[in-house]
Amino acid sequence: MQTVKTALLSYGMSGKVFHAPFLELHEGFELKGSWERSKKLIHKEYPEAKSYASLEELLQDDIDLVIVNTPTDTHFEYAKKALKAGKHVLVEKAFTTRVSEAKELAGLAKQKKLKLAVYQNRRWDSDFKTVKDVVNKGLLGEIVEAEFHFDRYSPSLSVKAHKETRTSGSGILMDLGPHLIDQALHLFGFPKAVFADSMITREKSVVDDYVDILLYYPRFRVRLKSGLFVREAVPSFVVHGKNGSFLKKRGDIQEDALKMGKKPNLKNWGTESRSHEGLLHTESGGKIIHENIPTLQGNYYDFFDGLYTSITENKPEPVTAQDGINTMRIIEAAIKSNGKQKVIQL
């Protein structure tokens, strides 16, 4: 089996929680190490991994894949350097800070014949996979409207300085927004117009921490919302069709399990509690259905397996650079819409 030698550009929460455990689980990847600027932590979990003192040292090593999991406003610079060094690249969300940057990276990867993927792992959440399955099976009939939430109750400012400093890569639209936008585009396709409203709700915050985005499709609407003052959560996924409705709580357990230090597996990983099953209320064959339906299993391993196949068999990335460009187009339109308080045509 071909080995894809992989390096992280940081070993903070993202590297430790979302990437390293799945690289370890997948027999096709080898975690060579991580760029560590101050704290040297990777050796505690992975004794054989290297701690690189600089990006240049990392890029000069025998590395096939570089994972750019640093603050958003560094993504373009670091991904570009990695591609120029002949490495395949996986970039965390948000892909870049501007559409022009995303397009430049996509063009460079194509020119170099390298793989460039975006880590939109929430497509492999148990809750979203279930919503997608209900919609794709046509259980609701023609879709009329949908509303996706990614809410938290987090009134205090983050201890991570880059999240609370006003930059082109900070704010909730760049943090939680890409998850919601990617899920909507993956499920419903690209809309024809966007309206957005964002604001600051926390005391002493200088970055937006509330956003409401409305995507216009020819025959239906999709609303995406995220805020940090939601103590009692509403259903995170609400989809209404001409035959019925589906409501689903955000129930994926992977992030919490990973933060507790649990290791993923290929058997029962990502299995939600039955108490979080979604409610389907629809009509089929003249019969009314009003029942909870089982939640599909989530597993971020499937993203990494798709990335491995992409690199070793020259197949499409599980989340392509074009997917990343499309998400950035919505983000740019949302920023413009909020500033002008008008609908932006796409």
Closest CA to 224 of 286, 161, 278, 176: 176
Considering the domain architecture, whether residues 279 and 312 belong to the same structural domain is answered as no
Spatial strand order in the sheet of 4-8: 50-52, 29-35, 4-8, 65-68, 88-92, 116-119
Considering the domain architecture, whether residues 37 and 185 belong to the same structural domain is answered as no
Residue 260 has pLDDT above 90, yes or no: yes
Give the percent of the chain with pLDDT over 90.
94
For residue 170, the model assigns a pLDDT of 87
For residue 64, the model assigns a pLDDT of 98
Give the percent of the chain with pLDDT over 70.
100
For residue 167, the model assigns a pLDDT of 83
Query: Are the CB atoms for 41 and 16 separated by under 8 Å?
Result: yes
For residue 263, the model assigns a pLDDT of 96
Name beta bridge partners: 29: 4
Name beta bridge partners: 51: 34
Relative to beta strand 4-8, strand 29-35 is parallel
Q: Is position 323 within any domain?
A: no
Considering the domain architecture, whether residues 105 and 159 belong to the same structural domain is answered as no
Mean pLDDT of 78-86: 98
For residue 163, the model assigns a pLDDT of 85
Considering the domain architecture, whether residues 117 and 141 belong to the same structural domain is answered as no
Residue 175 has pLDDT above 90, yes or no: yes
Q: What is the pLDDT of residues 106-155, one digit of tens each?
A: 999 999 999 999 999 999 999 999 999 999 999 999 999 999 999 999 99
For residue 201, the model assigns a pLDDT of 95
For residue 16, the model assigns a pLDDT of 96
Considering the domain architecture, whether residues 201 and 293 belong to the same structural domain is answered as yes
The count of domains in the chain is: 2
For residue 253, the model assigns a pLDDT of 96
- Long-range contacts at 321-324 (CB < 8 A, ≥ 24 apart): 321/95, 321/102, 321/105, 321/106, 321/109, 321/116, 321/117, 321/118, 322/106, 323/118, 323/120, 323/182, 323/185, 323/186, 324/91, 324/95, 324/96, 324/102, 324/106, 324/118
**Calpha distance 322→203 (Å, rounded):** 37
**Calpha distance 240→24 (Å, rounded):** 40
For residue 160, the model assigns a pLDDT of 85
Q: What is the pLDDT of residues 3-57, one digit of tens each?
A: 999 999 999 999 999 999 999 999 999 999 999 998 899 999 999 999 999 999 9
Q: Is position 198 within any domain?
A: yes
Domain at 54, CATH number = 3.40.50.720
Residue 165 has pLDDT above 90, yes or no: no
Considering the domain architecture, whether residues 130 and 254 belong to the same structural domain is answered as yes
Range of the domain at 260: 122-298+330-345
The one-letter amino acid at 262: K
Domain at 137, CATH number = 3.30.360.10
Q: What is the pLDDT of residues 282-310, one digit of tens each?
A: 998 889 999 999 999 999 999 999 999 99
For residue 10, the model assigns a pLDDT of 97
Considering the domain architecture, whether residues 172 and 271 belong to the same structural domain is answered as yes
Considering the domain architecture, whether residues 97 and 204 belong to the same structural domain is answered as no
Q: What is the pLDDT of residues 194-222, one digit of tens each?
A: 999 999 999 999 999 999 999 999 999 99
Residue 162 has pLDDT above 90, yes or no: no
For residue 273, the model assigns a pLDDT of 92
Average pLDDT, the chain: 96
